[in-house]
Structure 1
Amino acid sequence: MSPFFIKAIQLLLSLSLLIVLHELGHFIPAKLFKTRVEKFYLFFDVKFSLFKKKIGETVYGIGWLPLGGYVKIAGMIDESMDKEQMAGPPQPWEFRSKPAWQRLIIMLGGVTVNFILAILIYAGIAYTYGDKFIKADSLKDGFHVSNTEIGDKLGIQTGDNIITVDGNPVKEFSKLPLEIINGSQFTIKRDGATITKEIPVDFIAKLLDMEEKTSFIEPRVPFIIADVPKESHNTGIDLNKGDEIIAINNQKVTYLDQILPTINQNKGGSVLLLVKSTTGQEKTITAKINENGKIGVVRNIDYTELEKRGLLTIETIEYSFLQSIPAGIHKGVSILSSYVKQMKKIFNPKTGAYKGVGGFGAIGGLFPDQWNWGAFWSTTAFISIILAFMNILPIPALDGGHVMFLLYEIITGKKPNDKFMEYAQLAGFIILITLLLFANGNDVYKAIFE
């Protein structure tokens, strides 16, 4: 199956699960407080539904527009903008007739379920898979700056080790790029010296302009051959699986990054390689370099082997059932905190982070192009946290907007009138549509021009 369809199926399955559970977060407390729920919908049913069935007082259905879902609670100004119902006298089963604290619980139900769901998923992942990562402070000879333009912008170079970001040690190497994106300063160790550097305010904009959207730092690895494809321009030379390049043009090397400059200088030509086999035997080979600066082999990156060589340390953590629960909570809080930091960057025009805002295309891109249940659940948990955060923003038409007005009512004892709520809801819709168009417009622009 096409990678596009695999991603699309995962996106649809994930959003369907999250939307249904989010709306259940509203539906269940509404029913507990004897509030009538007229509709429970997955996706929006503009003009018509793909499916609907009335059970009791509630119509359950599936709409055709996959932009979300909703529960229509009687006596509430919501997505339906049902002014006729609101014109009549309040009924005891209506939302507007319930005490403010009950209405607050109903409105907070959705985001609460989303966050709890994320924690449960992360706990399940911890229990099932555990944690396995390269310790950030364990790289023997520092990291490789794979994008020198980004490295120059940050003031880092190959061989550096980042020891803290904003004063906090980073335990997992894979999290370093994100911590730098979210941070304002970092400390590196270079040639025995400790140096603190400020992260440029427009660093994110520079990162988004990268042609290849890959990490700008990676562990330093030796050049070990995994395979020489049949279509390679070096087919037939004595290169075999497991061979390691230990010198190029009579220059001894340990890492790939030490080999690349010589390869780039000899595009379209050839180089002399000193290669060590898995048995320890050394041989000298002349290899051609194509116009793109490639030898034409597949590299093998085995971090377990690198750990055996003492080049880095891999930490493995296994969790019991009870240990997985606090691990899930910690992961959920950590992801939420990171996302809040990113949102702060987005709302600061100087960072250029708004260029990275994406819609459904960007969300779909979070999923792998091959089916992997661990990756699916991890991405679903992340999206659940995003939905929780976005929904609690104090924007009318979102749960957070209703919560904002309910808190005002609880504090002041005054309830906003229905006409004001109608206008606020309409304003909220305009804001949401604008954000939706901007985010998905960014996706379209990137697809066409990048």
Structure 2
Amino acid sequence: MAAPRPTRRPDLEVHLGASGLVVGRLHLGSGRRSAFSYDEGWLRDARFFTLSPDLQPVAGVQHPRQVFFLALEDTAPDAWGERVIRRAHAKLRQEDRDTPALDPVDFVMWVDDEARVGALRLFDPQSGAYLRAGGANRHVPPLVELDKVLHAARALEDGTESVQDLRYLLGQGTSLGGARPKSTVRDTDGRLAVGKFPSQADRRDVIRGEVLAMQLADKAGIRVAPARVEVIGGTAVAIIRRFDRTDDGARIPYVSAATMLQSDGRDATHAYTELVDVLLQAGADPIAEIHELWRRLVFNFLICNTDDHLRNTGFLYDARQRGWRLSPAFDLNPMPGDRRESKTWLTEDTGVIDSRDMLMAAAPYFRLDAVQAGAIWSEVAQSVAGWRAVARGLGMRGTDLQDFEPAFAQEGGAGT
């Protein structure tokens, strides 16, 4: 494994999409925080759009409040990906004590170019290559190698990982899909997907539970990332299709809801009605997207998905309509042991979602009248009520159904 960065930090070019369109320059400075400047050609380009809401569409160097401008922060590894990077870096320092300590900017640098979320890419003009691209040991593993990746993830949790294990995992832990053990994988049809693995800390079949939620969401009329269960050596693994790539491999710009609201994602006081305002201002099809958002809130409430923080909602840029759409839903998890209330507020006045009445009362803000809202509620509740049949189809039996039943048995019309 190569060291994460050279002694001197050169500026990097920021490219957009598979074609490598130059859109800006990333100034890395001391390693504690970066700066950014738009490429003047991109500012004049008819296809121009603001890459991140914390960037002004002007020439000159801009200094983000965080380590990077927020849309690039969205490509950073999550807690699992950071854990892999820290282990890999520790092994490098064992081999060479002169290896520099990790700086905040380094984590984004370790992400594999092929696996990086969205359309932003980091290009090193000195080497003439994208960061973490190519190399004999750097590739997105195909599905047929998933048993090796699963073994590597288990070894990392145990603290017994080898250099080869780290090579399978390094740079593949994306910001999509939460903090669970995971890896980007290439599915049997060549498309990118996220493989999510059981954790030693699990007390129920979390993997099948997430796929259950994703498939129920699809039945409820929600755009959702396709998800299925693959059994690898007797272990259930969730395979969730990446939605930031097209069928022909093009990259689609992505930002999280946290980025849209210029939040670090840890601020719990932001509200879904703020996302309504974002869609009204910058949405590709605002009313349809706002209706979709309310449908998702109903679904989250009915399955007790309480992990709805702002990084678990995303937006994709529609270049033809020149606006943003909700990304397919992802990271949906029934939480049977939790109090049934959302993490993100419904409105800035009402706070967290904890009842059907609260959602129905807010429906007009989501451009729905009482009849429309009632019809959506009934559709979602009917789909959720069939959860047992879907769960059995995924291989859940007996105690699994008992484990998850509290998430689905509640007021509001979703039966068991």
- Give the shorter-chain TM-score range: under 0.3
- Point out the structure with the larger helix share: 1
Q: Which has the higher contact order (CA 8 A, sep 6+)?
A: 1
- Point out the structure with the larger strand share: 1
TM-score normalized by the length of structure 1: 0.23
Greater Rg over alpha carbons, structure? 1
